């Protein structure tokens, strides 16, 4: 076995056996006495919403990501701004985030059935899982629960802590490691870009002015670059959208990694995964759909445990948009 392959194998074995330390604070069926129907309620509403609007799968998944990378998975992104504070929602990376109304609808129903028992953080985590799981007709990974909701939401923290679409590999890995996520998690969780869309503005530099000389990013597949330039003519229309995963933006599958291997990663942060030898090797491994789905579930479980508030920490909000009075 080649050394690099062996190294990846060792990483895989370690990865399969570890769990985010904060996840140990959570447990399965946390609400089995206080609200035994909560997971059924979340799934039914989420599946109904995604069935009616397939774009919601990507939106709810992104909402969960953006929550967990700022202050941990505490539903701080759901808090509205106040006269004295600009919340995470207003930060530039979050202005295109959606899915809030789905969480509101679920919370309203859960409060009717189990008043003041279930946190918005747990609802968001479950809804993200269920949104992805809809196309498979079954839950794709387990979600331990017991999170409490945070009381603080600050726009500047979102701006500083969320991975950028323009980030290079070392920056991305550093941000993931800051959240107790490793290189396998970085590659695997980037696979969320197998669904959803973005805007031409985020790829304009790669297409028209990569080094400031009116050039195209040389790492971009030339044919793909030509297609993108047709879809995003200069001057850029800020409202024009692009599929993150070419011709596969509604199907949660491993096609994203196939595209990366053809140098068709849309965002700079996607292309960055191919600039590190180990990361690129993991990308190849993830082209196997069974491998990707198994690893994705494990990485989502790890991410869902980032700096969670439990026990007497935080609160259970009555309304996900405001802290309790």
**b or e along 113-143 (b: 16 or more beta carbons within 10 Å of the residue's beta carbon)?**
ebeeebbbbbbbbbbbbbbbbbbeeeebbeb
Measuring CA to CA, which residue among 82, 238, 78, 100 is closest to residue 158? 78
Q: How far apart are CA 245 and CA 292, in angstroms?
A: 15
User: Residue 299's CB: how many other CB atoms inside 10 A?
Assistant: 25
Q: How far apart are CA 120 and CA 131, in angstroms?
A: 16
* Pair 301, 143: CB distance under 8 Å: yes
Q: What is the DSSP string of 281-295?
A: HHHHHTTSHHHHHHH
Active-site residue (options: 32, 64, 66, 290): 66
Reduce the DSSP state of residue 197 to 3 states and report it. Answer: strand
| Structure tokens belonging to residue 27 | 């447990």
**Residue where the block lists tokens 């479980």:** 301
| Active-site residue, 66 included | yes
Reduce the DSSP state of residue 254 to 3 states and report it. Answer: coil
* Pair 134, 46: CB distance under 8 Å: yes
Backbone angles phi, psi at 143, to 5 degrees: -125, 105
| Structure tokens belonging to residue 87 | 């919340």
Task: Report H helices in 114-240.
Answer: 120-133, 155-161, 169-177, 183-190, 204-208, 222-231
User: How many residues are recorded in the chain?
Assistant: 325
Distance of CA 96 to the CA centre of its chain: 14
Provide the annotated active-site residues: 66
């Amino acid at each position: 076995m080649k050394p690099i392959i062996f190294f990846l194998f060792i990483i895989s074995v370690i990865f399969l056996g570890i769990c985010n330390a904060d996840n140990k604070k959570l447990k399965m069926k946390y609400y089995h006495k206080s609200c035994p129907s909560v997971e059924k309620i979340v799934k039914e509403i989420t599946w109904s919403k995604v069935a009616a609007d397939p774009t919601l799968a990507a939106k709810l998944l992104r909402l969960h990501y953006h929550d967990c990378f700022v202050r941990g998975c505490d539903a701080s992104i759901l808090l509205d701004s106040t006269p004295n504070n600009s919340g995470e929602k207003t930060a530039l990376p979050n202005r295109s985030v959606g899915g809030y109304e789905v969480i509101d609808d679920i919370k309203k129903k859960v409060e009717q059935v189990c008043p003041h028992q279930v946190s918005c953080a747990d609802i968001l985590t479950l809804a993200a899982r269920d949104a992805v799981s809809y196309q498979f007709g079954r839950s794709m990974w387990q979600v331990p629960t017991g999170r409490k909701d945070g009381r603080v939401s600050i726009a500047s923290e979102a701006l500083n802590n969320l991975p950028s679409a323009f980030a290079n590999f070392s920056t991305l890995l550093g941000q993931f490691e800051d959240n107790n996520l490793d290189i396998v998690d970085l590659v695997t969780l980037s696979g969320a870009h197998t669904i959803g869309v973005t805007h031409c503005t985020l790829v304009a530099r790669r297409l028209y002015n990569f080094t400031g000389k009116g050039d195209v990013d040389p790492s971009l597949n030339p044919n793909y670059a030509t297609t993108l330039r047709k879809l995003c003519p200069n001057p850029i229309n800020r409202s024009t959208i692009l599929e993150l995963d070419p011709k596969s933006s509604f199907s949660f599958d491993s096609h994203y990694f196939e595209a990366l291997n053809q140098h068709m990663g849309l965002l700079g942060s996607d292309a960055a995964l191919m600039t590190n030898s180990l990361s690129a090797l993991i990308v190849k491994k993830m082209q196997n759909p069974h491998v990707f789905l198994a690893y994705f579930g494990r990485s989502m479980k790890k991410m869902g445990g980032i700096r969670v508030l439990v026990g007497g920490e935080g609160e259970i909000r009555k309304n996900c948009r405001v802290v309790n009075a």
